[in-house]
Structures are given as C-alpha cells and as structure tokens.
C-alpha cells in the first residue's frame, strides 16, 4: 500500500513539474539546439535537397531564429509534420517553433493556445487541373472530384467556395502533400487544391508537370507565418523580430554578401540593426549581433525568397504581393529601434 | 460480513476480511483521487495555455466536406455530426469486413484440412502469405497497385453499360421501388418469423419421431416465393437508377469508393488468414473418436462437418475469433492512410485539427472503439454460451 501511495505521489509531482511552463529560450539554450516543425516536403518552403539538407523559405525562418539565439543557423533539428499533426506538436512542446506554411486565422490564434509571429509569405488558395479536361475557370468545376490535404484551411475554403457558387464537389482528403499530389497524378481527382504557391511547388513533383495548369482564381487569403506557443512572450519576441530583421535588412540593402562592409555604414538604422550601436539584442535577450548573424548566415528576406521560390529556384514565383511595402508589396517590418 | 466479535482476543484489525476491505477502500480512493487530480490538472493547464476546452465545439459548424456518408451531411452541419458520420463509416467497413473475413476464413480453414493435396497447399500458401505481410502494405497494394491503375472515367470499363469501373470507383445501378415495397419488406419479416417457428417445430418433430424435415431448402424457397408473390400482388414497380457519365464523373446509382474497396479487401484478406488458422486448430481439436462415431452412425461427410465437427470446434474457435473481430475493427483506423473517411480520419483528423480540441476528441474516439469492442465481445460471449450449452 505504501508503495502505491508513494508511487502516486511521485508521479503526480512529476506531472505538476512537467506541466509547469518552462521558458522556451532557456530551454532551447540548455538543449543546445531548437526543434523546428516543418512540412513533410514542399519544394521552396521546406524540403530536403539531394544531400538531405532542409531548404526553403520556412526553413530559413527556423535558421534565422537559431542564428539569433545561438549565433549559429545550423543549430536546428527539423521535425517534418503533416498539417494534422502540426498544432499538437507545438502545444505539447515537441517543437519550439512551427514554420510550416501555416495560415494565420482567428480560430487558430485564439483557440489553440498559439501565437503567430508574423507573415513570411502572403498566399491565396488556388486550383490546379489537368490540361486534358479543358477547364479554364474554377467556376466550371461543378461536380468535380477534388484532392485536398486534411486539417488545412484549404479544406474549409474549398467547401465555402463551392457552396457560395452553388456547385457540388467530392473531396478526397489525404494526410500528406505527396499522397495528395500522387492521387491527382493517377487521375483519382480532377482538381488539386492548395495554397497557390504550393500548387507550383507540387506541380514540379508531378510525373508530367507540363500537363497540369493552375487556374486563375484565387479564392482566399492565406497569410503564412511562423507560430509559437502562447504565453511565452520572450520567445514570441525572438521569433517575431528574427523575421522582421530579415525584412528590414532587405529594406536597408543589407545582404549576405555585403553585411561585413555594412558594419562600417554610417546609416543609424543599419548600425542599430547590426548591433554596432544600441542594445537591440539585449532587449530580445540574445546576442547584440543577432541580426548580423541572421543576415550573414541566412540572408535577407529578398535573398531567401529568390533562392527558394523566386527566379533562382525551379518554382520561378514573382515577388508580387510579397515584395516590400515600398515596392508594391505587403512586407513591412516595424522599425528596429 | 460477519466479524467474529465473541472472541475478545481477536481485534477487528486482525480480521483478514475487514483488513482486506479497508485496503481495497483506500486503494480505490487513491485511484479516484489520482484520476480526479489528472483531470483537474489538465483542465487547469489547458486554460493557462489558452487552449479551449469543453464539448461545446460539437455544436459548431464543421465547414468541410466528407466524400462518403451514410446519413445526410453537408459542410454546414456540426462537428457533432462529423462524429456520427465517422462512426458509421467505421462500422460499415468493419461489419462488412467481419462478415467477409469470416466466410473466407472458414472456407480457407476447411480447405487447409482438405484431403486434396492441391487445395490444402493453396490454402496454406494463402494463409502464410497474407498473415505475414504488414496490413498497411496490403492496403497500399490494393489501393495503389490494383485500384490506382484503373482507367480514367472517360475510358471506364463497362459491363452492359450498367456497371462501370474506373479509377474513381465502382458504379452500379441502384433500384428505386414504388410504395408497395413496404409490403415486400413486411412479407420478408413475416417469412423469417415463420422460418424460425418451422425450425423449432422440425427440431421437436425430430426429437419426437426421428423424422427429419428439410428446413434449409424450405426456408430458401419461402424467402424467394413469398416476397416474390407479395411484390407482384402489391403491384410494386422498380426503376433502376443507372450510372452515367455527366461532366467530370459518373452520376446516379451506387458508388463504391476505391478507398473503401481497398480497405475492405485488405482487412478481409488479412484477417481471414488468421481466422483460417483458428478454424483449422478448432477442427483439429475435435477428438478423432467423434468422427469415427459419426461415421459409424452413417453420417455423410457434409453432415458430419455440420452436425458433429463444427459445433464442437466452435467452442475452441469463438474466443480467438472474437479477438480477430476486435483487431479488424481497430485496424480499420488505418483508413486514414488512403483517405477513407473513417472515424479516425474525419473526427480525430480533420475535426480535431480544425477545432483544436484534441483531448476531448481523442477521449471520444477511444470511447467509441471501446464500446464497439465491448459490444462485439458481448455478442460473441452470448453466442459462446449458447454453443457451450449444446454439450450433452
Ligand atoms: N496554409 C494552409 C495549408 C497548409 C498545407 O498543409 N498545405 C499542403 C499543401 S498540399 C502542404 O503544405 N503539405 C505539405 C506536407 O504534407 O507536409 C493551412 O495552414 O492550413
């Protein structure tokens, strides 16, 4: 009996200890690396290359945070997650940052105990069809079979769109983008729907990319961004400002190549960004050269974009609304000061 | 409980019965307290982390579509309804699977014991192959390798322009009856009652006079003739809803999804291989003397199997058969790997993700599987008792 009681006491105290919320920053520092949740494989966003290394704009966000915290962008362990798994993985502490083309919505922001740390890609949902079926607009899709990924905003927008346009559809729901694209490839569905950028990413994975066509309609707003647990403001700040540092760097013309020269710049904004003056890093509880490390090791936002999804990549996506605010896009970082 | 008080030297705490009760009470209280603590602690932590709790979400609009539903469902229905849709889809594939796996399993188990070398070896190969390949691989095999390579809707295979098969599924005509069909259903019901009475009468007749009555053939004939006549008299008419290619897909008739077929085939074939072994073991457990005795009585082979061997073998077969049924139900949750909308895929998948209420949903899903398992065990136990009672 005493044994049972003592076991009960020990395990309950463990439970209390385990559930008390530790600061993610301290936690990550003592581990020596951070766990970053990414997709199971989406070219341009988070995908492994031939050498098995993770690449993509979402991966760069993970790296930026690691560079800020450790001064070393490689101190990241990537955890591939399906859309269905991602929020539980973050809530349960399995990952420290979720950077997996995740749309910022009110429900997710309020009900899941999460916080969105900004937007690293402005997207919108689209449709991809096989050229063979000769459809030119999404409004001609009445009665179509649609492949979609489970646990996404995509599933919900799809239902809304067809209902609003009084059309019917048959959803086939898979867990990973590979399955979704595979089913589209072998004709199980007429249409593949997803965030438009991801349609381009998935298209290059098809057997015959030239046979598939992305329809012009964009049916939703999908601001994608990194996510952290709610209630840990210190970590939230680091994630938020690591992304902002990349955007600010582009705005100020600081690049991976010129960042060393830029430390000699007389522009006070650049001096503050790179930690030459001011105590920005200290305020974030990271090294004062945090932004320097990010830019040196990862690059600014524009560089990351071009390298992963833009002209330097197979996806060839235009900057469009993802250009800086002063270049006709939405990207705007609050001042680093 | 009587505590021996008369003997003054025996203190109440020296009484083993009393002590046992006290200890049990303490342990029970500790366990309840422990679980109460876990629940309240979890609720507290969820609140601290800003994660919504409670079952209120079940009344919220789901907002997503589901491809197969046995009840009316559309995206404006509630999360609660997605729960029911999921349960029904799980039950559908499980029940059909259990029936088919039982038939195939018995067939293979008996074939395994056949005196015919070829039949017995073929059964052995079937059993050894399908028992030893992981179920998930078998599901993928049927889904991708067999059903995934079917032609596109526009090049569908067709049988008499009535039945169509393509990569999107099997399309068969569905009958639509006029109102008179209620009489036909009623007549089937009445016939079944009649057959039951006939069976009891025949049993008594045999006990009393030794004369046998061909209940089986009479029953079959009655089930065809009586509803048939009712159909004609009531003037019921049938129109067939034949599937036809309209737009992107076939419309009309009944659609059997490839996701369903693949899952069903894999579950059936996999489980039947285990059932075959159980049946073989059961049959072999019947003592040889029983066979010799029944031969001495002049029973034919079929009669011997039906009247002597199977009833006795059943007692050995039923308990492990029950666990195979439970396995099949639980294995059906692999559905999510190929996009069949079962309880786990819909409710513990999409609904969980969209609503974020992981703990409540996982709890509900576990409760459902537990209930299904308990109900199956209960039914099988009742059946087992009845088989055991036959013993003389
Ligand atoms: N932005 C949407 C959709 C995100 C999503 O999961 N998209 C799919 C596109 S098919 C994907 O990225 N899949 C990658 C994977 O399965 O790992 C959301 O947050 O719900």
In the predicted model, is pLDDT for residue B390 greater than 70? no
Atom of ligand 1 nearest to the CA of A81: 17
Residue A7: the pLDDT is 41
Q: Do A125-220 and A22-122+224-327 have the same topology in CATH?
A: yes
Q: Where are the domains of chain A?
A: 22-122+224-327, 125-220
CB pairs under 8 A between A and B: 134
Beta strands in chain B (DSSP E): 157-159, 163-166, 169-172, 174-177, 238-241, 244-246, 249-251, 254-256
The predicted-structure confidence for B75-121, as pLDDT tens digits, reads as follows: 999 999 999 999 999 999 999 999 999 999 999 999 999 989 999 99
Distance separating alpha carbons of residues A46 and B255, to the nearest angstrom: 38
**8 A C-beta contact, residue B341 and residue B92:** no
CB atoms within 10 A of CB B116: 10
The predicted-structure confidence for B168-217, as pLDDT tens digits, reads as follows: 999 999 988 888 889 999 999 999 999 999 999 998 988 888 888 888 89
**In terms of CA atoms, which chain A residue is nearest residue B40?**
A16
> If you measure from the C-alpha of residue A177 to the centroid of ligand 1, how many angstroms do you get, rounded to a whole number?
7
Residue B212: the pLDDT is 82
Atom of ligand 1 nearest to the CA of A180: 10
**Which of B:358-377 have CB within 8 Å of A?**
358
Q: Which of A128, A155, A174, A145 is nearest to A220 (CA)?
A: A155
Residue B65: the pLDDT is 94
Token pair of B151 as six digits: 């032609």
User: Roughly what angle, to the nearest 10 degrees, separates helices A233-252 and A24-31?
Assistant: 80
What percent of chain B is predicted at pLDDT more than 90?
67
- Asked whether the beta carbons of residue B354 and residue A155 sit closer than 8 angstroms, the reply is yes
What mean pLDDT is predicted for residues B22-45?
90
Distance separating alpha carbons of residues A286 and A85, to the nearest angstrom: 30
What mean pLDDT is predicted for residues A285-291?
96
In the predicted model, is pLDDT for residue B341 greater than 50? yes
CB atoms within 10 A of CB A70: 20
Q: Which of A98, A97, A101 is nearest to A120 (CA)?
A: A101
CB of B23 within 8 Å of a chain A CB? The answer is: yes
Token pair of A100 as six digits: 């997996």
CB of B65 within 8 Å of a chain A CB? The answer is: yes
Residue B301: the pLDDT is 84
Three-state secondary-structure class, residue A146: strand
The predicted-structure confidence for B219-272, as pLDDT tens digits, reads as follows: 999 999 999 999 998 888 888 999 998 888 898 899 999 999 999 999 999 999
DSSP state of A46: B
What percent of chain A is predicted at pLDDT more than 70?
93
Q: Nearest CA of chain A to the CA of B339: how many Å?
A: 5
In the predicted model, is pLDDT for residue A282 greater than 80? yes
Distance separating alpha carbons of residues B220 and B232, to the nearest angstrom: 19
- Asked whether the beta carbons of residue A186 and residue B148 sit closer than 8 angstroms, the reply is yes
Residue A2: the pLDDT is 43
- Asked whether the beta carbons of residue B349 and residue A84 sit closer than 8 angstroms, the reply is yes
**8 A C-beta contact, residue A121 and residue A224:** yes
CA B4, B9, B10 angle in degrees (round to 5)?
40
Comparing A192 with A205, the larger pLDDT belongs to A192
Q: Which of A83, A142, A172 sits opposite B353 (nearest CB)?
A: A83
Q: Is A58 in the pocket of ligand 1 (CB under 6 A)?
A: no
CB of B333 within 8 Å of a chain A CB? The answer is: no
CB atoms within 10 A of CB A223: 17
Q: Nearest CA of chain B to the CA of A165: how many Å?
A: 14
Distance separating alpha carbons of residues B66 and B73, to the nearest angstrom: 8
Q: Complex ipTM, two decimals?
A: 0.84
Distance separating alpha carbons of residues B176 and A205, to the nearest angstrom: 45
Q: Nearest CA of chain B to the CA of A67: how many Å?
A: 27
CB of B323 within 8 Å of a chain A CB? The answer is: no
Token pair of B128 as six digits: 């050894």
Token pair of B64 as six digits: 């997503």
> If you measure from the C-alpha of residue A220 to the centroid of ligand 1, how many angstroms do you get, rounded to a whole number?
14
| Backbone torsions φ then ψ of A262, nearest 5 degrees | -65, -20
Least confident segment among A224-233, B2-11, B131-140: B2-11
- Alpha-helix residue ranges (DSSP H) falling in chain A: 2-19, 24-31, 57-70, 86-91, 106-111, 153-164, 177-185, 196-203, 233-252, 259-262, 268-273, 280-284, 290-297, 301-308
Q: How confident is the model at residue A9 (pLDDT cuts 50, 70, 90)?
A: very low
**Half-sphere CA count of B383, side-chain side, radius 13 A:** 15
Q: Is A248 in the pocket of ligand 1 (CB under 6 A)?
A: no
Token pair of A295 as six digits: 């830019």
Q: Is A47 in the pocket of ligand 1 (CB under 6 A)?
A: no
Least confident segment among A6-15, A75-84, B287-296: A6-15
Q: How confident is the model at residue B279 (pLDDT cuts 50, 70, 90)?
A: very high
In the predicted model, is pLDDT for residue A190 greater than 60? yes
Residue B8: the pLDDT is 53
Q: With contacts defined as CB-CB under 8 Å, which chain A residues touch B167?
A: 186-188
Cα B105 off chain centre by: 14
**Half-sphere CA count of A129, side-chain side, radius 13 A:** 18
Query: Which H/E stretch holds residue A222?
Result: strand A222-224
Residue B391: the pLDDT is 52
**In terms of CA atoms, which chain A residue is nearest residue B166?**
A188
Residue B7: the pLDDT is 54
Distance separating alpha carbons of residues B121 and B355, to the nearest angstrom: 53
In the predicted model, is pLDDT for residue B132 greater than 90? yes
Q: With contacts defined as CB-CB under 8 Å, which chain A residues touch B349?
A: 84, 150-151, 173, 175
In the predicted model, is pLDDT for residue A16 greater than 50? no
- The reported pTM is 0.86
Whole-number mean pLDDT of chain B? Answer: 91
Residue B3: the pLDDT is 53
Atom of ligand 1 nearest to the CA of A103: 19
The CATH superfamily assigned to A125-220 is Periplasmic binding protein-like II (3.40.190.10)
Residue A15: the pLDDT is 46
Pick the CATH number of A22-122+224-327 from 3.40.190.10, 3.20.20.60, 3.30.70.2740, 3.40.50.620: 3.40.190.10
Pairing of strands A54-55, A47-48: antiparallel
- Asked whether the beta carbons of residue A143 and residue B248 sit closer than 8 angstroms, the reply is yes
Q: Is A83 in the pocket of ligand 1 (CB under 6 A)?
A: yes
What mean pLDDT is predicted for residues B286-315?
89
In the predicted model, is pLDDT for residue B302 greater than 80? yes
Q: How confident is the model at residue A132 (pLDDT cuts 50, 70, 90)?
A: confident
Q: Nearest CA of chain A to the CA of B66: how many Å?
A: 6
Residue in the block written with tokens 């069909």: B181
Residue B222: the pLDDT is 92
The predicted-structure confidence for A296-309, as pLDDT tens digits, reads as follows: 999 999 999 999 99
What mean pLDDT is predicted for residues A257-268?
96
Q: Which of B67, B75, B356 sits opposite A87 (nearest CB)?
A: B356
Q: How confident is the model at residue B9 (pLDDT cuts 50, 70, 90)?
A: low
Q: How far is CA A23 from CA A78, A91, A229, A315, B381, in A?
A: 20, 14, 10, 38, 54
């Amino acid at each position: 009996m005493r044994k049972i009681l003592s076991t009960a006491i020990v395990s309950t105290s463990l439970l209390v200890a385990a559930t008390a919320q530790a600061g993610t920053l301290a936690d990550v520092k003592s581990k020596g690396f951070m766990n970053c949740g990414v997709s199971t494989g989406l070219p341009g966003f988070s995908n492994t290359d031939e050498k098995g290394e993770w690449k993509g704009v979402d991966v760069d966000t993970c790296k930026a945070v690691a560079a800020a915290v450790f001064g070393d962008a490689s101190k990241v362990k990537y955890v591939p997650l399906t859309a269905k798994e991602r929020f539980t993985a973050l809530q349960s502490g399995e990952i420290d940052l979720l950077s997996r083309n995740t749309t910022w919505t009110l429900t997710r922001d309020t009900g899941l105990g999460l916080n969105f740390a900004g937007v690293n890609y402005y997207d919108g949902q689209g449709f991809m069809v096989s050229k063979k079926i000769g459809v030119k607009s999404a409004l001609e899709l009445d009665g179509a079979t649609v492949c979609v990924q489970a646990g996404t905003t995509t599933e919900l927008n799809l239902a809304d769109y067809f209902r609003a346009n009084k059309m019917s559809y048959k959803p086939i729901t898979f867990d990973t983008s590979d399955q979704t694209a595979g089913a589209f490839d072998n004709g199980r569905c007429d249409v593949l729907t997803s965030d438009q950028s991801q349609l381009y990413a998935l298209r290059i994975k098809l057997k015959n990319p030239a046979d598939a066509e992305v329809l012009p309609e964009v049916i939703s707003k999908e601001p994608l961004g990194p996510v952290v647990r709610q209630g840990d403001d210190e970590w939230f700040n680091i994630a938020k400002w690591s992304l902002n540092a990349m955007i600010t760097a582009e705005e100020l013309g600081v690049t991976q190549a010129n960042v060393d020269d830029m430390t000699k710049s007389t522009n006070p904004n650049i001096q503050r960004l790179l930690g030459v003056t001011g105590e920005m890093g200290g305020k974030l509880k990271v090294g004062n050269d945090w932004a320097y490390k990010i830019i040196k090791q990862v690059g600014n936002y524009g560089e990351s974009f071009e390298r992963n999804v833009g002209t330097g990549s197979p996806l060839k996506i235009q900057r469009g609304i993802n250009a800086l605010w002063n270049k006709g896009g939405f990207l705007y970082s609050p001042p680093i000061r | 409980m009587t505590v021996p008080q008369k003997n003054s030297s025996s203190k109440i705490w020296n009484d083993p019965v009393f002590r046992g009760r006290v200890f049990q009470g303490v342990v029970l209280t500790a366990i309840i307290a422990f679980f109460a603590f876990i629940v309240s602690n979890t609720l507290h932590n969820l609140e601290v982390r800003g994660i919504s709790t409670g079952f209120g979400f079940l009344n919220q609009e789901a907002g997503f579509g589901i491809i197969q539903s046995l009840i009316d469902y559309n995206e404006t229905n509630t999360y609660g309804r997605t729960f029911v849709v999921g349960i029904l889809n799980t039950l559908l594939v499980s029940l059909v699977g259990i029936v088919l796996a039982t038939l195939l399993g018995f067939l293979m188990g008996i074939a395994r014991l056949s005196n015919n070398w070829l039949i017995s070896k073929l059964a052995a190969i079937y059993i050894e192959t399908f028992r030893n390949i992981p179920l998930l691989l078998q599901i993928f095999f049927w889904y991708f390798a067999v059903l995934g390579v079917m032609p596109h809707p526009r090049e569908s295979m067709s049988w008499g322009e009535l039945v169509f098969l393509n990569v999107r599924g099997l399309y068969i005509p569905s009958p639509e009856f006029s109102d008179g069909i209620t009489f036909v259903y009623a007549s089937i019901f009445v016939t079944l009652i009649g057959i039951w009475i006939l069976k009891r009468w025949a049993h008594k007749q045999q006990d009393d006079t030794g004369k046998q009555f061909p209940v089986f053939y009479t029953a079959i004939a009655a089930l065809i003739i009586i509803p048939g006549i009712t159909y004609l008299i009531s003037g019921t008419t049938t129109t067939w809803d034949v599937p036809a290619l309209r737009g992107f897909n076939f419309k009309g008739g009944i659609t059997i999804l490839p996701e369903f077929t693949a899952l069903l085939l894999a579950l059936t074939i996999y489980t039947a291989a285990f059932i075959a072994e159980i049946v073989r073991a059961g049959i072999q457990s019947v003592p040889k003397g029983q066979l010799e005795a029944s031969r001495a009585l002049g029973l034919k082979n079929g009669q011997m199997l039906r009247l002597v061997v199977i009833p006795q073998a059943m007692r050995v077969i039923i308990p492990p058969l029950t666990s195979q049924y439970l396995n099949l139900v639980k294995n059906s949750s692999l559905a999510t790997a190929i996009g069949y909308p079962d309880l786990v895929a819909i409710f513990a998948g999409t609904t969980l993700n969209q609503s974020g209420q992981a703990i409540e949903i996982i709890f509900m899903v576990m409760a459902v599987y537990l209930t299904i398992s308990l109900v199956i065990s209960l039914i099988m136990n009742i059946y087992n008792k009845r088989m055991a009672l036959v013993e003389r």
